[in-house]
Amino acid sequence: MTDTTGANLPSSTTLGPEPPIFFFKPDEPLGEFCQWYPAKFTASKADICAEQFMVYCKAGRFRDAETQRLVLATKDPKEQKRLARLTRGFEASSWDEIKSEVVVTGNMGKFGQNRRLRSLLLSTGDRVLAEAASQDRVWGIGFTAREAMALQKPELWGENRLGKVLMEVRRRLREEEQ
């Protein structure tokens, strides 16, 4: 699926000579790449994590100030995700127009403002980053890392939007360093 948000995300995943880098939960290896990883960055003078930023922006897109307030009031990413599903006035097509760029912006804050995280992301070179979320074929690949490696067919993966977002953030951070 081609991304129409201006985030410049690739439409497919082509594996290079090195295996992909899989990530999933914040408390697992390479959990720093997870939206729920508790890395703080400043956006509009508030210290938030990437998931909180995305959900706050989602509620803002639909002028749901109450959900925005609740999102900022909790530090629990699971609760933030639950609140996102309650966004009043939500229209999928409207959110689809901006969601990838919102997540790119949030992750630019996360990785751009945290030296250790920036270094970690840049150390991945040109390898494919893949969220091994077996229940998510939009932001993840729809498979566990083990299943994906056994399958060896990335063309059967889900959209892997989060992985593609992180690869775009990596590209932008490299450009900043030049």
Q: Is pLDDT at 2 greater than 90 in this prediction?
A: no
Q: What ranges make up the beta strands (E) of 36-170?
A: 41-43, 46-48, 129-131
Classify residue 147: in a domain, yes or no.
Answer: yes
Instruction: Tally the domains of the chain.
Output: 1
Classify residue 110: in a domain, yes or no.
Answer: yes
Classify residue 14: in a domain, yes or no.
Answer: no
Q: Which pairs from 122-126 meet CB under 8 Å and 24+ separation?
A: 122/170, 122/173, 122/174, 124/21, 124/170, 125/18, 126/16
Classify residue 105: in a domain, yes or no.
Answer: yes
Kindly report which listed range (11-15, 29-33, 133-137, 154-158) carries the lowest average pLDDT score.
11-15
Classify residue 152: in a domain, yes or no.
Answer: yes
Classify residue 16: in a domain, yes or no.
Answer: no
Answer with the residue of higher pLDDT: 11 or 62. Answer: 62
Domain region containing 64? 21-177
Q: What ranges make up the beta strands (E) of the chain?
A: 21-23, 41-43, 46-48, 129-131
Q: Is pLDDT at 80 greater than 90 in this prediction?
A: yes
Q: Is pLDDT at 167 greater than 70 in this prediction?
A: yes
Q: Is pLDDT at 115 greater than 70 in this prediction?
A: yes
CATH of the domain at 88: 1.10.357.40
Classify residue 83: in a domain, yes or no.
Answer: yes
- Tell me what pLDDT residue 7 has: 60
Classify residue 3: in a domain, yes or no.
Answer: no
For the stretch 13-66, pLDDT in tens is: 666 678 999 999 999 999 999 999 988 888 867 778 899 999 999 999 999 999
